[in-house]
Structure 1
């Protein structure tokens, strides 16, 4: 198959068929040619074979292979079945002729190797050659896949999903979500919860409320984080407008007509972890509507700042509770805790239920195990071997080295939303305890590996801090980055979340020693050399260091030159857009790659220039220097592309025109204003909207390159 995916290969095949490469052939040869051309979309064939008859009647088969490994697999088979005895093919790569339209179309798919199999003039010999090629294709289809990659665990896919969300990579996160759905890795409800989480990260509240499954999500068993998201989506979609206008009557009317039924169906008895300002206000409106909700009144007592003018309408004190209420017996408390744990998918509530059960006598525990509806809930908690799950990152890190802690990543995924971040940011003792826990796991291979794999969740938890990046937490950022640099798991993948930590450390203001330690960690992560798949990660780091203040200019310059020098061995394998990005950053540093043959290689025509030609592209980012650099890169590749940049803080006529009229619109989510992003989505409609990972110009051009490659 040629192309990065089946849809791209199918588009290539459609274009080739339209060119009618064998229109002048006999019926028998034309049928064989059509069969051979199907190799373009065959997932078992390492490349594409397309027979062509030119205007002079000469016939050849154009060969295009996507990678060098595919070429090493295909070449000996073609030689064995249709080598020099049947065709002119001798196994030597050969470029397509400039006048060959079939070769020109295949070249747009950016093959790593091209070759030509010239067929004899006699029709009988041509039929024999084409049949031999078909036998070669069928043989490859039956051959075992010796380089099949190991299956990726679902827990790793979920960690990668969170990693993309941490850096604003919406398209990449959507790709992981599609894979989880298509491969049936999770049940439909959990996939839908991940979709809700994705939409919430990008504050696409209307899209959440518009989900056909939204009413069902409100009554399903949910995590506290999902409950908080659903409440915020309802508030932003139906209540925010009249509330901000201080229109009490309209706000209460909107709540009662469009929101209240959903809030009541959620059966909220306590404030969910991570509840946002909109959620607090909905609980306040529910309390106004039903003054008997003493449970809600109690949790709203100290939330006046979040409630806004709703706080002025609540009674000064809670309604009087019935007299003579007694403290619940231990077994009643355990029953209530089990009901809560069953209704809400919360590790904290599960821990509370297990603690309540631990206080029961053997007879009381036996009674719960035999009584419905508690029997299945107790059995579920028994499966955890009576070990309560951790309720903080320090407790999680302490358990990370335990081989029996098999659900460590699942607990980390939920803990990022439930575990308190405020206490860790304001208490130096808590910060030191967390740093000590991170240092401790470095001495345990299993604990270090699990913590490295949980890096996206730890970073997501840190980003919940309203003042992220916070200088007081720089030891935590540094400890996590060091652990990642030394961990064995980082060799398998480079998490984009590591760049979040780097930017957080640079922004928090490091001393000279800490700055050099940061450089050492990045050197360790990068290794002695890196591959093409790491190039954008490297470029993003270079941009971060260039844009941040430094306590040691000499160390920074040496480090950046060293990093860029490691690109030299792979420079010739980079795409054109990557080479231009490297050259642009190098020129800003006053550095140029050594004059070696590999750096003199011009990149193969990957077709990006032709796909960019004539397009109008809009880039929205508050980091205007990044927008300008991305514009320069794109215009160097294709002078006919039109690139407009915008940094308005809200809706404007120009931003609306760009949203409505651009062929592509790229939004840098991590460098954007909420009012502007909502405005862009509203006026963009169903047209293509790309989200870049990170804030730098390299992330912008990366998003465009990835999108256009899919369209090839």
Structure 2
């Protein structure tokens, strides 16, 4: 990679940037002005169409097109355009996920400086598709710029968008959540503070602690006393970026000094009751007390955590403060409350958590949420915080029927309240407890029948299928559930959604079926649209479809993958080390089995740890990249991995096929980047 040119970083106007991007010194495509003319003219003159930048490398035969959103909130629009005009018929990868720009590369650095780092797609141009790709992108620019202006997303009520956002996060599709967040921002109707809360939640679930702390306006949000779940996420990010690295070296002094860094929001380290937060957030509060010299308050905090059996939140390096004698003080005089003999300041949020009403069951909680009860909504928010309060589920079959009947009787507004506020904590509790609630899960699935099978709902449906199959359902329940699952498949199963459809098939194959014929029929309905367009599938999806068809003895005859001809650019997967993290061990095992068969040269490490460890740190540091499945993942583990991994990849879904697809795509990119460097090393050695 060439180093970034200072001239490119200093370019101000769009004209200057375009001139530099097409400069033959940095981009060999600039030597062919006639070929580039349509893209140069559009980049300078167009106002609505994205920027398209062709690129050639003189040192290799590689070529590519960068398709760049002109504004940060238009990445989702550009993706829809590329799906429609070029993918997947012409380009197998790169059209659906923005690329991580390399600031050490002159072109990519200039793109990031002028347009931002998050809205650029990089399409590799196979030699036999270059003319067709050039024509398709030219057609796209002309149509977008000259056609009547239109909205690229179907209008939805704000409540529906917020529900979809929560669905995408609980289903393990953070990229889908980002698209929905863009739409919410464009449509309006949400306060700036609440929009920031959603951004914080998404970044926390993805484990992007540094990005969370760098979020513009974060300090102002914290000064407005946000909900406790927001504070928990920010404190966990402070722990991941500042405290954990120092404690790993055994240095409490370094941890305290790290809290003085500019990106740390000091307001969040104000006195809070650590027992009301998850373990990593509580640790951040304790170290914050020490950094401010409040050692007596630190001792009180440790004793309060010990009193509620939360000693795991206290790092061993703070053990010496347990024996510290604290001076007695009057709770009434200084505005504190007694927590098992220790005094701690009560904030408004903490006082609210002591509200007299407490649900006796999930039925009572869901009924209150459906009515919009503020106390019930607060309890659901607290449940989502790492280490938050829990409301145990009943294993009794009658309790399952009661929950299902409650959900079936909700009106539209009550259903949306439950889906938006209570679905995530309910499904996480089902996953954590391992209890069998087939009727409740089937009813949630039934309630989603009328919804459009968009990416957010598909992600939740995947999680519901996994939890339902764990319950060992009866043949009747199994038949009814699969009927709901496969309803309207013709509306959403296509080559660009192959990974999600194959995720469903893979889950059905992984569990015993009470009725083999019902399962075979459901699988055939999911695979039929893919089978008709098998030539459009990428290698990983086609291999997965063929393998699953053979395993389930469906008798489908899939075409053999045709390797590109010799005159087409190919990417050889080089040996690499990949860490795959997720909470579903079944998915992890199936990913490992498939990768071992297809790419034995790739070393795969798996982890389902809920918190960081020395072993996980070493694996993350030495892996070439990590594939992070966010479905049901804890903030602590996600933050820990992203802090130590060289690079992080997020699959589009939480099933094994989506994870394999993301892994293979990342391996291809890694191999493309590594091959020139290895060639230079071999040349030097020669």
Partner of residue 154 from structure 2, selected from 128, 131, 150: 150
Which residue number in structure 2 is paired with residue 20 of structure 1? Answer: 32
**1:620 correspondence with 2:585:** no
Instruction: Flag the 1:607–1:438 CA change in 2: closer, same or farther, 3 A.
Output: farther
Question: Does residue 270 of structure 2 align to residue 266 of structure 1?
Answer: yes
- In structure 2, the gaps of 5 or more residues are 1-16, 55-79, 87-124, 338-344, 673-686
Which residue is equivalent to 1:578? 541
Question: Of residues 448, 460, 483 in structure 2, which corresponds to 1:484?
Answer: 448
CA contact (8 A) 2:171 2:459 kept: yes
In structure 2, the partner of 1:699 is: 659
Per-residue deviation, 1:496:
0.3
CA distance in 1, matches of 2:501, 2:617: 37
User: CA offset at residue 276 of structure 1?
Assistant: 1.2
Corresponding residue of 1:647: 606
Cα deviation for residue 696 of structure 1 reads 0.1
Q: Tell me the residue number matched to 1:227.
A: 231
Which deviates the most, 578-587 or 425-434? 425-434
1:292-307 alignment to 2 at 5 Å? 301-306=307-312
Residues of 1 paired with 2:271 and 2:590: CA distance? 49
What CA distance in whole angstroms lies between the structure 1 residues aligned with 2:565 and 2:227? 46
What per-residue deviation string (whole Å, max 9, x for no partner) do you get for residues 305-325 of structure 1? 545676992799995747999
Distance 1:225 1:106, change over 3 A: farther
- Which of residues 300, 313, 318 in structure 1 aligns to 2:322? 313
Q: Which residue of 2 aligns with 1:470?
A: 434
Per the alignment, residue 503 of structure 1 pairs with: 466
**Are 1:439 and 2:373 counterparts?**
no
Contact 2:478–2:514 under 8 Å retained in 1: yes
Q: What is the distance in 2 between the residues matched to 1:229 and 1:244?
A: 21
**Which whole-Å CA distance do the structure 2 matches of 1:301 and 1:500 have between them?**
36
Say which of 474, 484, 501 aligns to 1:521: 484
In structure 1, what is the Cα distance between the partners aligned to 2:426 and 2:563?
A: 42
Q: Distance in 1 between matches of 2:236 and 2:569?
A: 44
Report matched runs for 1:332-481 at 5 Å.
344=349, 349=352, 394=363, 398=367, 414=381, 417=384, 422-426=390-394, 428=396, 433-441=402-410, 444=411, 447-448=414-415, 450=416, 455=419, 457-465=421-429, 468=432, 470-481=434-445
Using the alignment, how far apart are the partners of 2:359 and 2:230 within structure 1?
20
Contact 1:666 1:700 in 2 (8 A): no
What secondary structure does 1:581 align onto? helix
**Number of residue pairs matched?**
556
Superposed counterparts of 1:78-227, under 5 Å: 104-108=129-133, 111=136, 141-145=145-149, 149-177=153-181, 189-205=193-209, 208=212, 218-227=222-231
Verify the 8 A CA contact 2:462 2:655 in the aligned structure 1.
no
For residue 226 of structure 2, give the secondary structure of its aligned residue in structure 1. Answer: coil
- 2:594 equivalent in structure 1: 629
**Higher mean displacement: 498-507 or 234-243:** 234-243
Larger deviation: 505-514 or 213-222?
213-222
1:277 match:
279
CA distance in 2 between partners of 1:224 and 1:200 (Å): 14
Q: How many Å separate the matches in 1 of 2:661 and 2:278?
A: 34
Whether the 8 Å CA contact 1:692–1:703 is kept in 2: the answer is no
Q: Which has the higher contact order (CA 8 A, sep 6+)?
A: 2
What secondary structure is seen at the aligned counterpart in 2 of 1:468? helix
Task: Name the SS for the 2:556 alignment partner.
Answer: coil
Distance (whole Å) between structure 2 residues aligned to residue 324 and residue 139 of structure 1: 71
Structure of higher CA gyration radius: 1
Deviations 1:496-543 (A, max 9, x none): 012111111222333433333332331336368844454322110111
* Cα displacement (A) at 1:440: 1.3
Deviation of 1:223 (Å): 1.0
State how far apart, in whole Å, the 2-side matches of 1:137 and 1:211 are: 33
Secondary structure of 1:196's counterpart equals helix
Where does residue 84 of structure 1 map in the other structure?
A: none
Partner SS state of residue 646, structure 1: strand
Calculate the aligned-residue CA RMSD, in Å.
6.2
Q: Which residue of 1 aligns with 2:37?
A: 34
Cα 1:446–1:590 shift into 2, 3 Å: same
TM-score normalized with structure 2 length: 0.60
TM-score normalised to the size of structure 1?
Answer: 0.58
